[in-house]
Chain A
């Protein structure tokens, strides 16, 4: 299983690159971790690794942010933190994004668990007692 220990922010970029190359065929990545674990921060690095120079910010309010890579490919950054009902995900037309074939990076995927596609990469960020992070990733079918 993909597993990395991160003790400083400067290591995130390298881990993001490794994550992308480990799961080259995959497009939907679900990021699990408590509030403050660093989901948005890690996704910033993943977007850099995918070649986007865009300002990557938290989509908690906007629900979905869209960025572009240097080749003008879309990256969708979701945040289901404030979703209360699955219906709200349908209201946003989440399926148009998730099945688009573009990279989809999802924060708070547990809120829409039944709607996640059959094949995703589960990325878990766990905060250790010393505030370092263990980042693991696994393909789920």
Chain B
């Protein structure tokens, strides 16, 4: 039986980057994130100090996403956009654009929750790459600069946050500790690189004692700062002389914190289908630790392609597709929301 292909344009503008993507059923056709190259192809330049950057990016980015997908805009069945959470001003650009697009082509408008998008990114299919989406129910560890959450996913559109940070995100702990060691921002990738040459058990840092499945990284950050402050008093070259061991020990602690709650969630729910999302999923130490635990506890571990773990519109487009199938459309009078909710 031949099935009609559903083509969705996705738009993401919740924080720093403007992105647009085109998806046909689960198959990704294009995924464009605003950068210098986008503007070159569009024939413009990125101003150094782009005021209201999203407004300047959105048209070139959508235009390029449609071109790269090899479709005509009249082929698009619906437009999906990030309604929140995020920065209101940024969200408003994507929301307004999507509304205009929907009105002008007379196609449905679909709102997507940014966090739901991160989870549904796991279902993106790519040409020529083996398709290996998770099976319901599964647990998703969402870790990024702004999020640290454990999400219980029962179905495409039925998910629940069962644990989350009560202060800082894991990515922030990486970045801020990296900063005090003199590493550039964002520091996560630098810590990861240096950690490979260091001893993860050389230094002990404090671990939070938070009940249930919630996370806390603020105490670790403070402990790390004061540890360095005290050591530098004794030896001003302490950081330089011990950088690899500091990075390895810090990374080890953050990963242990992340995994302790994930293991607990797996045990409490009895779910062995485990996935990861968000930018921190690029961390090689975290990937290895997840693989070791998967082998030990019999988890089926799914790690998505890095491109789709960052903020991107492909995840919004795929979410839009699943909502389209359920005919969950959005009215023109919808306004963005800034606060986290799922």
Contact = CB atoms under 8 A, between A and B. Distances in A.
Interface of A: 35-36, 38, 40-41, 44, 54-55, 57-58, 60-68, 82, 85, 87, 90-93, 96, 131
Interface string B298-309: 000000000000
Contacts of B288: none
Contacts of B88: 64, 66, 93, 96
Contacts of A35: 176, 179-180, 221, 225
B218 A40 contact: yes
Given A40-B167, A62-B15, A64-B87, A87 B146 contact: no
Contacts of A131: 226
A64 B336 CA distance: 14
Interface of B: 15, 49-53, 85-90, 144-146, 164-169, 171-172, 175-176, 179-180, 185, 218, 221-222, 225-226, 338-340
Contacts of A55: 164, 166, 340
B169 A57 contact: yes
A131 B225 CA distance: 12
Nearest to A93: B89
A54 to B, nearest CB: 8
Nearest to B148: A57
Given A61-B144, A61-B169, A67-B339, A85 B164 contact: no
12 contacts: A36-B225, A54-B339, A60-B145, A60-B176, A61-B172, A62-B87, A63-B15, A65-B339, A66-B339, A87-B49, A92-B87, A96-B89
B12 to A, nearest CB: 15
Contacts of B144: 61
Contacts of A92: 87, 89-90
A85 B48 CA distance: 11
Given A35-B176, A60-B168, A64-B88, 15 more contacts: A36-B221, A36-B225, A58-B167, A58-B218, A60-B175, A60-B176, A61-B144, A61-B145, A61-B146, A62-B15, A66-B338, A67-B339, A87-B51, A91-B89, A96-B88
Nearest to A94: B89
A68 B15 CA distance: 21
Contacts of A40: 167-168, 218
B6 to A, nearest CB: 32
Contact of B165 (A36, A57, A90): A57
B179 A91 contact: no
B35 to A, nearest CB: 16
A58 B221 CA distance: 12
Contacts of A91: 50-53, 89
Contacts of B171: 61
A64 B338 contact: yes
Contacts of A58: 167-169, 172, 218
Contacts of A63: 15, 87
Contacts of B222: 36, 38
Q: Which of B15, B221, B338 has the most CB of A within 10 A?
A: B338
A58 B262 CA distance: 22
Contact of A62 (B50, B89, B146, B166): B146
Contacts of B225: 35-36
Contacts of B175: 60
Contacts of B15: 61-63
B185 A82 contact: yes
A40 B81 CA distance: 31
Contacts of A38: 222
Nearest to B15: A62
Q: Which of A36, A55, A82, A90 has the most CB of B within 10 A?
A: A36
Given A36-B225, A85-B49, A96-B89, A60 B339 contact: no
Nearest to A82: B185
B220 to A, nearest CB: 10
Contacts of A87: 49-51
